[in-house]
Structure 1
Amino acid sequence: MHLSPDEIIFWQYGFVKLNATIVYTWGLLLVLTVGAKLITCQLSTSLQRSRWQNFLEIIVTGIVQQIAEVGLRHPKNYLGFLGTLFLFIAAANLCTVIPGYEPPTGSLSTTVALALCVFVAVPWFGIENQGLRGYLKTFLEPTWIMLPFNIISELSRTLALAVRLFGNMMSGAMIIAILLTITPFLFPIVMTLLGLLTGMVQAYIFSILAAVYIAAALGDRKRKTPSPPLPAAKT
């Protein structure tokens, strides 16, 4: 039983190692890239569309609606980043039905990398929306005394994202591996199906939390427009 796909070494030369995390991550990225290219190469605007295009539109529309419900005013601006996060984590977990495959999200290095992507994206979108000065001013709200606490919050939630995803994925894999050794095969199959559902939930939660953090960085701090003056009383 492997606690992490990092322990599976396919090739090693000195201190350079090619482990399962790297192989499965890049393999998954290749599959997603080729799949996206094949699905989008023949998009149609007519009434008759392929099943793949209908399926793609359902996924994209669902992601856009979820982003909008979080509170981001222009959800399509964040579709590329948040949609990619969701699809990568979801595909990584769904592929666990393949014999010999271990999800790269079971490695702390992968979850840290995903969390760092969110850590970089939050100020990126915040600065893009409010400008550098406007974004930095948010760390002083509601008063300058909150500056160290706001900085700690930025760092701690990144760590929390990584540990949350890693812990949930690793614990699920360990439970299934233990059950395979002490129980018949029927129950572990049920647990595997439950693990697939859990993986989809984790992909959803990770993406929604990323959207929430971005929305918090933007504030979505809507600038209040001054209310129109009251009409003068008639004499």
Structure 2
Amino acid sequence: MEEIAVLFHIGPLGITTTVVMTWAIMLLLLLVSVIATLNLREDEPGMVQTMLESVVGAIETSVADMMPQRPDLLVPFVGTLWIFLVVANLVGIIPELHSPTGDLSLTSALAILVFLSVHWYGMRSDGVRQYLKHYLSPSPVMLPFHLISEFSRTLALAVRLFGNIASLEMAVLLVLIVAGFLVPVPLLALHVIEALVQAYIFGTLALVYIAGGIQSQQITKEKDEQRSEKNQ
């Protein structure tokens, strides 16, 4: 794997190409969002507005299929994550640029963000106490296993995205060196498909984890209510 270059330092902190590329993508998405939403029309939407509404509609449908109770709660986070990952994964097809998701530090940061979001949405849905109770369900003996599951799936989330994007860029580079400039043309289409698939998988897994955290506490709450009814 190619070493990540440090471009400059802010005190003891080294700013790598991954950091610069990540912030550049975030700035680009912010500018595009602001410009694209300046002249929205309800009666006669233009081509750009129609395309944006199609993208947002597809995201809302995907989230609603997974979390029909509260899709509006998860659409902003999951939708932003999907869009960012699509752009970040596709950056690698531009000559002299590399996908920031080919760096384990970025994929780890995204996985940690998903990890924190699972607990944030879970606690926000029905309170801290009710959320934490599901770690003791069906028995307090399951607590260590729940904790191991939380950390292992976060690690797997980071490594999966990093491994697929980094290996794809490495394969394109090796074929380019061995076979010349014409052979990698079909690999360009493969890169686009793989970038879209990996973004979808990462976002879907994040959605599954968050929805699972919310639904787990709802199940725990229902069980507590059933027990209290039996005791009465």
TM-score over 0.5 for the pair: yes
Give the TM-score, by structure 1 length. 0.88
Give the secondary-structure state (helix, strand or coil) at the position aligned to 2:40.
coil
Kept in 2, the 8 Å contact 1:72–1:215? The answer is: no
Would you tell me which structure has more helix in proportion to its own residues?
A: 2
Using the TM superposition, give the Cα deviation of residue 31 of structure 1 relative to its aligned residue in structure 2, in angstroms.
0.3
Deviations 1:10-66 (A, max 9, x none): 3357744232101111111110000011111211121x1111111111011101111
* Partner Cα distance (1:147, 1:19) in 2: 39
Aligned to 1:188: 184
Residue 233 of structure 1 aligns with which residue?
A: none
* Deviation of 1:97 (Å): 2.8
- Distance in 2 between the 1:13 and 1:138 partners? 43
Q: Percent of aligned pairs with the same residue?
A: 39
- Among 26, 39, 46, which residue is 2:36 paired with? 39
Asked which structure has the greater CA Rg, the reply is: 1
- On the 8 A contact 1:127/1:135 being kept in 2, the answer is yes
Q: Give the match for residue 199 of structure 1.
A: 195
**How many residue pairs align between the two structures?**
222
CA distance in 1, matches of 2:37, 2:93: 26
Deviation by residue 1:173-224 (Cα, 9 ceiling, x = unmatched): 1111110111132221211220111011000000000000011101163676
Runs of 4+ residues over 4 Å off in structure 1: 12-15, 222-226
| Structure-2 separation of matches of 1:171 and 1:134 | 42
Distance 1:144 1:75 in 2: 31
**What secondary structure sits across from 1:101 in the alignment?**
coil
Could you tell me which runs of 5 or more consecutive residues in structure 1 were left unpaired when the two chains were aligned: 227-235
2:79 corresponds to which of 80, 83, 86: 83
The answer to whether 1:67 aligns with 2:56 is: no
The equivalent position to 2:150 in structure 1, one of 151, 154, 177, is: 154
Q: Which residue of 1 aligns with 2:15?
A: 18
Consecutive unaligned residues in structure 2, runs of 5 or more: 227-232
Question: 1:2-151 counterparts in 2 under 5 A?
Answer: 3-4=1-2, 7-12=4-9, 15-46=12-43, 48-151=44-147
